[in-house]
Amino acid sequence: MSTATETIEEFVNKEYKYGFTTNVETDTIPPGLNEDVVRLISRKKNEPKFLLDWRLKAYRHWLTLTEPKWHHVHYPPIDYQASIYYAAPRPKKVLNSLDEVDPELLKTFEKLGISLNEQKRLSGVAVDAVVDSVSVATTFQKDLAKVGVIFCSFSDAVQKHPDLVEKYLGSVVPAGDNFFAALNSAVFSDGSFCYIPKGVRCPMELSTYFRINTANTGQFERTLIIAEEGAYVSYLEGCTAPMRDEHQLHAAVVELVALGKKSEIKYSTVQNWYPGDKNGKGGIYNFVTKRGKCIGENSKISWTQVETGSAITWKYPSVILQGDNSIGEFYSVALTNNYQQADTGTKMIHVGKNTRSTIVSKGISAGRGQNNYRGLVKIMKHAAGSRNFSQCDSLLLGDKCGAHTFPYIEVRNTSSQVEHEASTSKIGEDQIFYCNQRGISTQDAVNMIVNGFCKEVFRELPMEFAVEAQKLLGVSLEGSVG
């Protein structure tokens, strides 16, 4: 049995420990995936027929696909039959105090400057100020309702706004798009749904934190964001605290629809999934399909991400620039340390005229980390007058890590412009010594230099996220300089 299968088995058994001691009826199903499981999921969630059909179609298609192998990451084979695909949303096992939490975790919380209440929430300790979080969330919901913004869990959206879901689900990432998207489409559990009506600038940053949902983070999350003409929303996904989950494989799908003219969606991610231990054991596989479609003229979609976690990351947030003059942006910092592997990048597909895209990818490799940038800039025949600017910079810390760049450029008209710059650098000993000689420790010097390296990307993050991201980078790079 492969290590991955053993690990999944181990974790699967753990679930029963936390299990349903108060419920008579066990609300999980045995491991394995087949059509009945898909039907069961849909039934349990009380979904309308269109969605069940959609899931089944996706599942049947998944069966015909083979797991992709072209990427530059290596992992033992995943046994898809060993996972449990349905578990009723249940409260996390509640601990009584922070003393019961893994001290390593607490140390990280401290370094990240995470408040006590937040620490409790993240580690499953009963939050004293329950009233506070409920009231905060309530005020928040009121403000949104006032302007007509819909922000709720995906499951809620299926019940309350099935028409919107039916119209746009799969419109950006069709179920047949790729192996993991197909799997996700068949068995997705929950996620976020967001709809911004015409002319509305969403009054606050939306974040997964505010989604009232006591469920464990799903293995197969599904998110859909729709912005009408002139609408604007900034959405924050993720968490700087190390997210440990029972499931090793995470295959989420995120679809952004910049529907109307001048609509704009800004999607920021700071992700710190459990990266595995110093020897590369354990760790989450983050295989996610994220894509945005700029349908409206002059619409805009920006992806900003800081990825420091996961044992293996495989994601290419992309933008299809359909509307004329639309803009796609991708700003990314990806860090790999110890034995982490990342194959990440973006796809910018220029379909409309005068479309623009900007790609700034910063890869930092430390330890034995392997960082791969894979990007596609495709300018279609009728995308006259389009422009792309790409910058891929790699920073290598130490001599056992690696950085590889795989840029793909396809231009099918003669009036467009594509610029690609790339650089690879190390932090020089002279630079570290200069900092030392001014009283700055080597670790602080590395942090300073790495932050300088990532500045352009951090600038694009909403403020609090940027501060957390900087701290996170510092914590993740600790001990990386020998």
CB of 123 to another protein, least distance (A): 32
Structure tokens that stand for 14 in this block = 């753990």
Tokens 């990806």 correspond to 334
Alpha-carbon span 90 to 51, nearest angstrom: 23
CB of 375 to another protein, least distance (A): 22
Question: Measured from the CB atom, is 41 or 445 closer to another protein?
Answer: 445
CB of 369 to another protein, least distance (A): 20
CB of 396 to another protein, least distance (A): 15
Taking each helix axis from N to C end, the angle separating 103-111 and 116-123, rounded to the nearest 10 degrees, works out to 140
Question: Measured from the CB atom, is 187 or 450 closer to another protein?
Answer: 450
The pairs formed by 99-104 with CB atoms below 8 angstroms and a separation of 24 or more are 100/125, 101/125
CB of 428 to another protein, least distance (A): 7
Alpha-carbon span 127 to 124, nearest angstrom: 8
Burial class (CB in 10 A: 0-12, 13-18, 19+), 166: middle
Contact 149, 194 (CB under 8 A): yes
CB of 22 to another protein, least distance (A): 53
Closest of 450, 444, 446 to residue 429, by C-alpha: 446
Question: Measured from the CB atom, is 95 or 448 closer to another protein?
Answer: 448
Question: Measured from the CB atom, is 95 or 432 closer to another protein?
Answer: 432
φ and ψ of 66, to 5 deg: -110, 150
Question: Measured from the CB atom, is 43 or 455 closer to another protein?
Answer: 455
Closest of 314, 246, 305, 318 to residue 272, by C-alpha: 305
Closest of 240, 291, 311, 247 to residue 269, by C-alpha: 240
Question: Measured from the CB atom, is 203 or 428 closer to another protein?
Answer: 428
Question: Measured from the CB atom, is 28 or 431 closer to another protein?
Answer: 431
Residues 6+ apart with CB under 8 A from 13: none
CB of 478 to another protein, least distance (A): 17
Residues that bind another protein (CB under 8 A): 428-431, 433-442, 444, 448-449, 451-453, 455
Closest of 190, 203, 154, 151 to residue 41, by C-alpha: 190
Q: Distance of alpha carbon 182 from its chain centroid, rounded?
A: 17
Question: Measured from the CB atom, is 16 or 434 closer to another protein?
Answer: 434
Tokens 């983050």 correspond to 286
State the sign of the Cα–Cα–Cα–Cα dihedral 38, 39, 43, 46.
Answer: positive
Question: Measured from the CB atom, is 74 or 438 closer to another protein?
Answer: 438
CB of 395 to another protein, least distance (A): 10
Quick check: helix, strand or coil at residue 397?
A: coil
**Termini Cα distance of the chain:** 36
Question: Measured from the CB atom, is 7 or 431 closer to another protein?
Answer: 431
Closest of 277, 237, 270 to residue 102, by C-alpha: 277
Alpha-carbon span 336 to 310, nearest angstrom: 9
CB of 13 to another protein, least distance (A): 48
CB of 411 to another protein, least distance (A): 31
